[in-house]
Amino acid sequence: MKNILSVLTLLFLSIGIHAQDISGRWNGTVQISEDKSIEFVFNISTDENGHKTIIDIPSQRVAGLKPQNTSFKDGVLFIDGANLGIKYEGTFYENAQQFKGNFTEGANTLPLNLKQGELKSVVKNNRPQEPVKPYPYNEEEVIFENSEANVSLSGTLTLPRNNKKSPVVILISGSGPQDRDETVANHKPFWILADYLTRQGIAVLRFDDRGVGKSTGNFSEATTADFSTDVLSAVKYLKSRDDIDSNNIGLIGHSEGGIIAPLAANQTKDVSFIVLLASTGIPGSEISLMQSISMRPFPVPNEAAYEQAIRKAIAIAASDKELSVIKSELLEHYNATITPILKPLVGDDKKVSQIINGLIETRTTPWVRYFYNYNPADEIEKLDIPVLSLNGTNDTQVVAEINQKGIKDALIRGKNKDFKVLKLEGLNHFFQESETGKMEEYSTIEQTFSPIALKEISNWILGHIN
């Protein structure tokens, strides 16, 4: 949606703007808070088929994000990253030679202006755990197919250097479009985990999510169930190799990966164990409610009324009605409950409308609607293979106590004979040793993955290899 400045600008754009060549590297910074910003690089190319964009986020060490469509018309650049849950819309100002616009992710919209040229060097945080070549193991770029979904998945397979068939684990990332290293806050936890386990004699396969990095597919159209089929494709690929012990294939799922893992394991006899890291054990609707309250960035006059409003919004979005009906009901509900809260904070009716529309779109994606109706405990209860579940006591995204209870109760109900459920003191959602566990703390911590957690995972797996 164009803001007022965009509309006014279009009225006064010179004819020269229509011929503007926008090919090249454009960069800008999103200011999250007084002391936190995120740098973006938009690599735009042009050919006979139109424009294409590849987005890099150097400060987060993310590269190769591929939005599904880029258009430049009447001075307005629109980058449609619906496949990634993002978009950018900016108007070109010829005098300043820059785009002024907004970057949107889900319900969050922030100003982002783009200038052509190279991004100034970003100060690199110290990440002492990251391995340095040469590695004492083999590393191989691999591609495997999910033929049913018509998706090619690209990843890295690390293999111990021995003449034996290696036990192997598949790493399954958390929610949102993730690369093979699960890069977040300038950390690469899956790289650290893969390196550690491979040094212990365990092969590791990690891969880019659909539509991320070198993998194909549309991330935004996929659900947790769809991602489980990507994991099954990885299992099938590993079984085809003569250097892998097909009797010892395990899954390690982090966050959402922890609810994908049991769903995948229950569809095959080829998974021999799973490890759940910061996994949930209660319905997605309850997780969403808890996060909507605990991570809310604004105050509300009545907490009980706000919780009731969120519960109703989730119930509307999770229903099996037609999508158009759901969006209409959500709009009516939000206008009655959330708009009165937002208006004094934002002060602009158009901005409030933008936020509400963003909330509606966020709550009605295929992934979110599936998540609301999915209870991982149902799948965990069916598991008849060994299970290790780890959660950090400082996790503010997936609270350890209530989720581990859900996981443990499900395993007991299912009469699983071999499981371990453990809380690790002081660790956050990404298993860093932390002070508060809050999201803004992730990037400030040098440690990427607690050695205590790494050892716990490795020792448990080695003890369960046949």
Q: Of 340, 364, 388, which residue constitutes the final position of a domain?
A: 364
Average pLDDT estimate for 118-144:
86
Average pLDDT estimate for 449-456:
98
pLDDT above 90: residue 319: yes
Q: What is the pLDDT of residue 20?
A: 63
For residue 429, the SS3 value is coil
Average pLDDT estimate for 15-33:
69
Residue where the block lists tokens 């489980």: 228
Phi, psi of 225 (to 5 degrees): -65, -40
Q: Of 364, 392, 422, which residue constitutes the final position of a domain?
A: 364
- Going by pLDDT thresholds of 50, 70 and 90, the confidence category of residue 17 is very low
Q: Which residue has the higher pLDDT, 94 or 434?
A: 434
Task: Tell me, yes or no, whether 269 and 385 share the same domain.
Answer: yes
pLDDT above 60: residue 164: yes
For residue 69, the SS3 value is strand
Average pLDDT estimate for 129-154:
97
pLDDT above 90: residue 327: yes
Sign of CA dihedral 450, 455, 456, 458: positive
Task: Tell me, yes or no, whether 202 and 320 share the same domain.
Answer: no
List the one residue out of 339, 337, 336 whose CA is nearest residue 356: 339
Establish if 127 belongs to a structural domain: no
Average pLDDT estimate for 298-327:
91
- Count the Cβ atoms, other than its own, within 10 Å of residue 123: 6
pLDDT above 90: residue 33: no
For residue 357, the SS3 value is helix
Q: Which domain holds residue 331?
A: 285-364
Q: Which residue has the higher pLDDT, 392 or 28?
A: 392
Task: Tell me, yes or no, whether 180 and 328 share the same domain.
Answer: no
pLDDT 10s digits, 34-65: 566 788 889 898 888 888 898 888 767 777 88
Task: Tell me, yes or no, whether 174 and 51 share the same domain.
Answer: no
- Going by pLDDT thresholds of 50, 70 and 90, the confidence category of residue 73 is confident
Task: Tell me, yes or no, whether 27 and 71 share the same domain.
Answer: yes
Task: Tell me, yes or no, whether 206 and 269 share the same domain.
Answer: yes
Provide the strand spans (E) within 82-133. Answer: 86-93, 98-105, 108-116
Task: Tell me, yes or no, whether 188 and 151 share the same domain.
Answer: yes
Task: Using the CB atoms, write b or e for 283-306: b if 16+ within 10 Å.
Answer: bbbbbbbbebeeeeeeeeeeeeeb
